[in-house]
Amino acid sequence: MATRIFESEKPKLKDPLFIEGLPGIGHVGRITAQFIVDELKAKKFAELLSSHFMHYVLLQQSSSVHVLKNEFYYAKGKGRGQRDLIILVGDSQSIDPEGHYEISHEILDYIKKFGVKEMITLGGLGIGEVKEKPKVIGAVSDEGLDKKYKNYGITFDAGNKVGTIIGASGLLLGLGKVYGMKGICLLGETSGYPILPDPRAAEAVLKVLMKMLNIKLNMGKLDEKVKEMEEFIKKIEEMQRKAIGQMMQQQVPPTGKEGKEELSYIG
């Protein structure tokens, strides 16, 4: 099947802004996007499944299963200066390089149908130390576009500090040009240990985002939300490690014992 999007509703949106927050370092993008979805009571309208996710389902407390997926939500702009939003969240990114491209193209093809022309992708920037006040580093799709975003407290020195943006946050921005989309990637500085979701980095990114989107969210709930997510994220990561360990065990032949058997190979 490769990668397929299943649509449950076709919302009518006006010049929607696309926001992406998928799992990654410090889960900064994911926490931030999920918080916006929850606080704006955004509505789910499509799901993306992919053969480039791990080949298992998660078991939930209710004994029901959960397939790994990405989810599209929308929220209508209500106040002055607020725009319609399409928000992408999810519990996995591709497990191989080729899938990253495939999934990014599927997403871009899909959101193009809603007339998306601008995007904000969210992620973390591992800096190897814990910072009291993490900065938010910006990377733009087109040279000179940093000027457009200069009034939101974003630091534009990514070129000096960072070499690459790995995965969806980078590819959506980079490949978006082909689909006539421009935008920015917001990277919250985080220590860089992938195990732990970093609410402080997410908070920094959220503050910038609230200004950009002209919305007010109750930041007090963030810690609470992060705790809720933490259990789930920890479970996925643990299971991913176990599953990969299991796969390797199954595939790698035990050496030594077999050594003395008679050779019987045909080719």
Q: What angle do CA 248, 254, 260 make, to 5 degrees?
A: 160
Taking the least distance from each CB to a second copy, the nearer of 12 and 248 is 248
Written as one letter, the residue type at 98 is E
d(C-alpha 49, C-alpha 71), whole Å = 9
Residue the block writes with tokens 């959506």:
172
Written as one letter, the residue type at 59 is L
Query: What residues between 179 and 198 interact with a second copy by CB under 8 A?
Result: 185, 187, 192, 194
Least separation in angstroms between residue 188's CB and a second copy is 10
Query: What residues between 219 and 238 interact with a second copy by CB under 8 A?
Result: 235, 238
200 near a second copy, judged by CB under 8 A: no
Among 78, 81, 160, 218, binds a second copy (CB under 8 A): 160
Q: Which stretch binds a second copy (CB under 8 A): 12-20, 84-92, 151-159, 223-231?
A: 151-159
d(C-alpha 225, C-alpha 194), whole Å = 18
Taking the least distance from each CB to a second copy, the nearer of 5 and 210 is 5
199 near a second copy, judged by CB under 8 A: no
User: What are the CA-CA distances from residue 59 to residues 71, 235, 236 (Å)?
Assistant: 18, 10, 10
Q: Which stretch binds a second copy (CB under 8 A): 81-89, 112-120, 213-221, 253-261?
A: 253-261
Q: What angle do CA 229, 231, 236 make, to 5 degrees?
A: 95
150 near a second copy, judged by CB under 8 A: no
218 near a second copy, judged by CB under 8 A: no
Among 12, 79, 113, 144, binds a second copy (CB under 8 A): 144
Tokens of 20: 């992406």
d(C-alpha 145, C-alpha 135), whole Å = 19
153 near a second copy, judged by CB under 8 A: no
d(C-alpha 119, C-alpha 18), whole Å = 4
256 near a second copy, judged by CB under 8 A: no
Query: What residues between 92 and 121 interact with a second copy by CB under 8 A?
Result: 94-102, 105
- Say whether 189 sits in a helix, a strand or coil: strand
Q: Which stretch binds a second copy (CB under 8 A): 76-84, 172-180, 197-205, 215-223?
A: 172-180
Query: What residues between 39 and 68 interact with a second copy by CB under 8 A?
Result: 49-67
Longest alpha-carbon distance in the chain: 79
Taking the least distance from each CB to a second copy, the nearer of 45 and 217 is 45
Taking the least distance from each CB to a second copy, the nearer of 208 and 215 is 208
Among 31, 36, 88, 140, binds a second copy (CB under 8 A): 140
Tokens of 215: 């919305």
Query: What residues between 15 and 44 interact with a second copy by CB under 8 A?
Result: 23-25, 29
Q: What is the DSSP string of 127-152?
A: -SS--SS--EEEEESSTTGGGGGGGG
d(C-alpha 171, C-alpha 233), whole Å = 23
